[in-house]
Amino acid sequence: MEFKLSFPINESVYIKNPDHSDIGRKIIKHGIDLINELGFEHFTFKKLAIEIGTTEATVYRYFENKHRLLLYIISWYWFYLDYLMDYRLQNMHDPKKQLEEIIQILTHELPESSGGLDYNKKYLNNIVVAESSKVYLVKEIESINQEGVFKAYKDLCRKMATVMLAYNPTYKYPHSLSSTIVETAHYQQYFVQYLPRLTDANDANKKEYANVYLTDLLFKVLG
C-alpha cells in the first residue's frame, strides 16, 4: 500500500511536468543517479538520454537545461524536508525537542520508504550536500528568484525560524540562523568526508559529528 507524495514544485522550473509521465519520472530518477555518479559539471542530457533509452531532444522537452533539472531535484528536497518537519514535529510540543529533531533531519540521510517515490535517498543526499548551492550561485539569480523558484527554501527557513522564536523569543536573527544551519549541515558533512582538516571530526565521531556540532552551536546561539 503506497501513497504518492506530490509536491507543488514551481511550474517555471520545468517545461513539461516530469511527474505526469513515465519518461518524465525516469528523467528525475536516473538524473539523480547520474548526477551523483558524474558530478553536476560532467553530467549532460545526452548521457542521461542514453541511460534511459531516449533522446536528448526528449529530455529538452521536459527541462530547458540541466540547471533546471537540478533545481527541480533540490526543490523536491526542500518540499520533502518541509513535509518531514511537519510530520515529525506534529506531536512534539517542546521547542527544544523540535529543534533537536530538525537538526537530526538535516544531518542524516532522508528516510527511505516514505511515499511511493523510489529516488535513491543516499544519492539524493550526496547531491544535496555537494551540488545544492549551485542552484543559486549563478549569474541569473535575480531573474530566476523572481520566478519564485526558491519559495520552498524560504518557507522552510520561516518554519525553522518560528520554532527558534518559540524557544527563544528574543533572538534577533532566526532566519539567518536557519539558513546557516541548513547550509552548514551540508558543507560540514562534505568537509568531514573530503576536507577533514576544516573540521574537528575524527574517525570515531565522524558519523554523528555534524549533528553533535550543530546541536551544540544552535543551543549556544539561542541560549
Partner DNA sequence: CTCAAACTAATAGCAATACTATCTTTTTTA
Partner DNA sequence: TAAAAAAGATAGTATTGCTATTAGTTTGAG
| Residues making contact with DNA (CB under 7 A) | 16, 21-24, 42, 44-47, 54-58, 60-61, 64-66
159 binds a second copy (CB under 8 A): no
Q: What are phi and psi for residue 34, nearest 5 degrees? A: -75, -40
Do 31 and 40 form a contact (C-beta atoms < 8 A)? Answer: no
Binding piece for a second copy, criterion CB under 8 A, among 11-19, 34-42, 71-79, 100-108: 34-42
CB closer to DNA out of 12 and 193: 12
Which of these, 104, 80, 101, 117, lies nearest to 4 by C-alpha position? 117
Query: Which of 65/104 has CB closer to DNA?
Result: 65
Cell representation of residue 26: 525516469
Which DSSP symbol is given to 201?
-
- Which one, of 3, 8, 39, 180, lies nearest residue 123 by Cα? 39
Q: Which residues, numbered 107-146, are part of the site for a second copy (CB under 8 A)?
A: 130-131, 133-134, 136-142, 145
Q: Does 23 bind a second copy (CB under 8 A)?
A: no
Report CA-CA distances (Å) from 153 to 51, 61, 157, 159, 208. 30, 26, 6, 10, 25
Interaction site with a second copy (CB under 8 A): 38-39, 41-42, 130-131, 133-134, 136-142, 145, 150, 153-154, 157-158, 172-180, 183-184, 187-188, 190-191, 194-195, 197-201, 213, 216-217, 220-221, 223
